Amino acid sequence: MAGNKITLSVIKADIGSIGGHIKPSSKLIETVREHIRENGIDLFKDFYVSSTGDDIAILMTHTHGKANKDIHKLAWDAFIEGTAVAKEQGLYGAGQDLLKTSFSGNVKGMGPAVCEMEINERPNEPFLFFAADKTDPGAYNLPLFLSFSDPMHCAGLLLSPKMSKGFTFNVMDVSHVKGDRVISLNTPEEMYDLAALLRDNERFVVESVFARSDNGQAAVVSTTRLHNIAGKYTGKDDPVMLVRTQKSFPATGEILSPYNIGHFVAGFMRGSHVGPLMPVKLNSTISYFDGPPVVTCAAFCVHNGKLTEPVDAFDHAYWDYVRNEVSRKATEIRRQGFSGAAMLPYSELEYGGIVEILKRLDKRFKVRN
Ligand code: F6R
Ligand code: MG
Ligand code: MG
């Protein structure tokens, strides 16, 4: 595939919000946007700053490749400047995701979530920018599996000879903290092996997907686990994702298709529950039980690094129907409160409270003969 080499970078953080963990203030978003505009003019080709729930994401197009120090520093500094405004306004959780104090070349491992891909820009290059709040990176596992390997969601696997060659999934073991532990699996041959890993959303996370027809990168997901960096709960990992669509990749509608399931994901209140993932309109807030977990999708075309305006992929009457169905699922699981499947297993409980209760009670157990 010939074309311009460009890099799409998304760097995202929760640096404070209004009324709890709901939504950043307009002034905060504007501060981040202005910082990027004023300081990055010689660095990027284009950019887009947006919020999903309490998170702010910076999308940049540029020619400096992945993990570029200047691009990462620009985003880091924008979040630092934003944090000062968040503090000034008394926003809740000001600077929450900035876990380190000084910038060391790359925001990975410093708190913000990152996903980037370097691509050969096609003459017309449609892509989708997903951002989710009140959940974690494994939330994209099932939709990616279905869009790229299941003809029930992706008709192209049957109807497009290119796509029937399948895809390569790179899956990361996010429980491995000393470096990136990754496996590559090819579909369709290794679909069952892939499913066996992806059933465990908290441990195995799809990091990227490539087309086997032309080796072009289709998707990239942020894989940060904040508690691995901080050693304790500091907020959920609220993942971002980029997906290129059409031609050798699934069509936009095939990528969106699995979001009508409202599958149950980890997150929701205090990052400790299970709730259905609701596809919402851009700029939606967070509400019921600090949730439900939400995902937004901004569709773009990029040409010579210049972005079109975003189109809100979930702003359509069809998704109103889905949102009602997902609300029903959220209400249903909430009816059982803390019991069983409604709350995450002990190993995933983000708040220390329950761990302490169980430790305290442990001493009071007596073994009867
Ligand atoms: C979940 C989330 C919220 C908070 C909850 C308690 O990702 O952000 O559900 O965990 O509102 O927040 P704190 O502990 O800050 O009072
Ligand atoms: Mg938050
Ligand atoms: Mg968040």
Ligand nearest to the backbone CA of 267? 1
Cα(276)–Cα(295) distance, integer angstroms:
11
Ligand nearest to the backbone CA of 92? 1
Q: For the chain, which ranges sit under pLDDT 70? A: 1-3, 226-236, 350-351
Residue 238 CA: which ligand 1 atom is closest?
A: 7
For residue 224, the model assigns a pLDDT of 76
Residue 92 CA: which ligand 1 atom is closest?
A: 15
Name the active-site residue from 236, 237, 247, 290. Answer: 236
| Pairing between β-strand 278-279 and β-strand 294-303 as defined by DSSP bridges | parallel
Residue ranges of domains in the chain: 124-303
Residue to mutate, 290, 350, 354, ligand 1, most ligand atoms under 8 Å from C-beta:
290
For residue 313, the model assigns a pLDDT of 98
Nearest CA to ligand 1 atom 4: 270
Q: At 263, give phi and psi (nearest 5°).
A: -65, 155
For 23-64, what is each residue's pLDDT tens digit? 999 999 999 999 999 999 999 999 999 999 999 999 999 999
Nearest CA to ligand 1 atom 12: 270
For residue 61, the model assigns a pLDDT of 98
Cα(352)–Cα(345) distance, integer angstroms:
13
Give 274 Cα–ligand 3 centroid separation in angstroms.
Answer: 16
Q: Are 77 and 69 in contact (CB under 8 A)?
A: no
Cα(72)–Cα(78) distance, integer angstroms:
10
The amino acid that residue 345 corresponds to is P
For residue 1, the model assigns a pLDDT of 45
Ligand nearest to the backbone CA of 12? 3
273 CB near ligand 1 (under 6 Å)? no
